[in-house]
């Protein structure tokens, strides 16, 4: 009987711990690549020569949480899904390093890994909370168990950001290439007004560069929070 009670007790502890642990569930994609919609209020389109550029807004909390289960703008990250379409007869090379967001100055770009680090979950907060709610769970045990689980979640986050990101490559005739790019939002910025996305693509036959730019959608969002401020959501837990 005692052994059975011990087993049940540990099962309960495990269930409580992991019920309160970090999660990552981008409901809109479930790990699948996302592409900009072809039209809509938060979509911008530009055409130059054989190329068409589509860019969509994902800075607002609803869109950001759908794709990354995180309010990225509050963490100082601007996520932008883009797509480059080639309607011509010659291939074009497009690199992420040749895509910028321009305003009064050029915004700093983030790698997928750098952007993912802004969405990382923390193990300590929830572990401490559960150790207080259920005294049988000691703080060291709670933190250790939560840390192991959170580490797996953070690895999943990095992999998901990388899977959804724009990768360098060739846009063949009648094909397209797309994915997310990530840029830094400075503290205090509440909208995307005055910003444009600029893509430099290289024609692989003539080796001439083609520059195509599209203004970003005019949307507003909660600005980047101070490091000392508490997050408005629970994604840090």
Which pLDDT tens digit goes with each residue over 74-128? 999 999 999 999 999 999 999 999 999 999 999 999 999 999 999 887 655 444 4
Spatial contact of 214 and 196, defined as CB atoms under 8 Å apart: yes
Convert 114-128 to b/e letters by CB count within 10 Å (16 or more is b).
ebbbbbbbbbeebbe
The CA distance from 142 to 154, in Å, is: 18
**What global pTM score does this model have?**
0.78
Confidence of residue 216 (pLDDT cuts 50, 70, 90): very high
Could you tell me the sign of the dihedral formed by the alpha carbons of 60, 62, 65, 66, in that order? negative
Spatial contact of 199 and 171, defined as CB atoms under 8 Å apart: no
Which ranges of the chain does DSSP label H, i.e. alpha helix?
Answer: 2-19, 61-68, 112-117, 124-133, 139-164
199 vs 26, 69, 87, 95, 155, CA distance in Å? 27, 27, 16, 9, 30
Which burial class, exposed, middle or buried, applies to 183 when counting CB atoms under 10 A from its CB (0-12, 13-18, 19+)? buried
Count each helix (H run) and each strand (E run) in the chain, helices first: 5, 9
Spatial contact of 157 and 195, defined as CB atoms under 8 Å apart: no
Phi, psi dihedrals of residue 202, rounded to the nearest 5°: -110, 125
What pLDDT was estimated at residue 29? Answer: 56
Confidence of residue 16 (pLDDT cuts 50, 70, 90): very low
What average pLDDT does this structure show over 148-155? 81
The CA distance from 153 to 114, in Å, is: 16
């Amino acid at each position: 009987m005692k052994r059975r009670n011990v087993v049940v007790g540990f099962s309960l502890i495990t269930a409580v711990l992991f019920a309160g642990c970090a999660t990552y569930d981008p409901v809109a994609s479930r790990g699948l690549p996302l592409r900009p919609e072809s039209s809509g209020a938060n979509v911008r389109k530009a055409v130059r020569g054989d190329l068409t550029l589509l860019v969509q807004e994902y800075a607002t909390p609803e869109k950001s949480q759908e794709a990354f289960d995180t309010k990225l703008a509050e963490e100082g990250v601007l996520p932008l899904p883009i797509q480059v379409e080639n309607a011509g007869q010659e291939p074009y090379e497009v690199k992420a390093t040749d895509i910028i967001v321009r305003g009064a100055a050029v915004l700093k770009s983030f790698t997928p890994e750098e952007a993912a680090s802004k969405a990382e979950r923390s193990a300590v907060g929830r572990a401490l909370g559960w150790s207080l709610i259920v005294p049988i769970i000691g703080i060291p045990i709670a933190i250790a168990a939560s840390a192991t689980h959170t580490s797996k979640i953070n690895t999943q986050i990095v992999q998901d950001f990388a899977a959804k990101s724009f990768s360098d490559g060739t846009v063949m005739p009648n094909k397209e290439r797309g994915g997310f790019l990530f840029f830094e939002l400075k503290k205090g910025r509440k909208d995307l007004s005055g910003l444009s996305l600029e893509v430099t693509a290289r024609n692989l036959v003539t080796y001439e560069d083609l520059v195509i730019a599209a203004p970003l959608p005019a949307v507003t969002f909660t600005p980047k929070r101070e490091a000392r401020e508490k997050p408005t959501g629970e994604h840090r837990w």
